[in-house]
Amino acid sequence: MSEPDLLTVPQVANRLGLSQKRVRKLLRQRALPGLRIGGTWHVPRVELDLFLVRLRGKARGNLSDLS
């Protein structure tokens, strides 16, 4: 079964291995793109995928700085 196009905070938190509180903070800071629908945060799946790519790129950059 495929993931929905819009993910809830609990779904994002589970996928990232973070607390729901931390995910909400990332959303408020606009570090993670999302939208509010009826007062509830939602993250487009494609935005979460791009967020993960950016994180992986930063992690690689940090590792290359060590050499």
pLDDT tens, position by position, 12-47: 999 999 999 999 999 999 999 999 999 999 999 999
Is residue 43 packed enough to be buried (19+ CB in 10 Å), middle (13-18) or exposed (0-12)?
Answer: buried
* pTM of the predicted protein model: 0.80
Q: How much is the pLDDT for 65?
A: 44
Domains of the chain, with CATH numbers? 6-66 (1.10.1660)
Quick one: pLDDT band at residue 62, thresholds 50, 70, 90? low
Looking at per-residue pLDDT, the higher value among 60 and 18 belongs to: 18
Tell me phi and psi for residue 36, to 5 degrees: -100, 130
Whether the per-residue pLDDT at 66 is higher than 60: the answer is no
